[in-house]
Structure 1
Amino acid sequence: MPKRKNPTGDDYEIGYAKPPRATQFVPGQSGFAGRKHKKVEPHNQMISRILNEEVEVSGQKMTKLALVVLQTVNKTIKGGRPQDLKILLEMLEKHGVMTKVDAAEEARIGADEAMAKVSQIFFRLQNADPKLMAASKQADLEEAEIIMGCSHCAPILRERWKTPEYKSRLKQGQKSAIQSEVTGKERNKRLIKIWENLPRDVT
């Protein structure tokens, strides 16, 4: 095949494996200069997209978010780990997946489930031996501290305790185990503070 002369007039010959210099790639130049670069999906959008995907569980369709919350609540009830629900809610809120309203609603549901579990333990252990009762009381206190440490659960529980229905139950002596532990601890703190601020006789 005859070689063509370079129109630029230099000694560079155009031929097989020798394209014109004007059409050659410059070092560092991409071969697809006009292509659109694929956008990187932000973490919050990626998490939201995945959690909103539907799955089928026992013939019932639900979002992955609903499934995760359901499984976490079930583990909280069976295993006594309310902090799992707290961690889940904080992770979802951190990535902007859940609005504050959604998070508060999920926290309310989780708090109700956790309170029901604590109440069941309390009633089941009424006839237990003193050591078991003491261990149960300590567990109730620890769970109460975990739930009240949740930025969503604590305000919801405090508002719940102010409702007329709840106050009516209080008059009949029906206080939840969590409120008993929380209010008892707060009362002790107030008494200690009053005691520390009492005037002392200096002799």
Structure 2
Amino acid sequence: MIARVRDELVTINGETMTKYELAVRSVIAQTVKSGKPRDLKVLLDLLGQYGAMPQVEAAEEARAQGQAVAQKLMDYFNKTNDIDPLDATAVDRLNELETRLVLGCAHCGPKLRDNWKTADYRARLERYGGSSIHKSVLNSRPEGKSG
């Protein structure tokens, strides 16, 4: 029931929003007026307990938490293996430079791009990910573009 109500749209003063957003706005307004932040916490806890957090927000929160964990792991790995983060940045810049050089070559660039289109390469890409050059190209493109 909470999920259904959460996603139901209402129009207030010409502005369309979900009932979830309306409830949060109302409680925030009441919290500001009354000075009782406990009310907002109760609402958010209730909605969180029953999975009422919108999926986009939940996905973003999970992604951010995953990135934080990954960063902590990398920091620990770098510290225990005496790796300077500046060295990693320098290697990344070197990879980008080499990528531009290889792809800019009139002979190598087209052959490499053709190789990326083969069924064998696509299968390996699905199983293991691409080469460092391919990853560098993908990371340098605007979102949504593939190569």
**TM-score category of the 2 structures, normalised to the smaller one:** 0.3 to 0.5
Higher helix proportion: 2
TM-score relative to the length of structure 1: 0.29
TM-score relative to the length of structure 2: 0.39
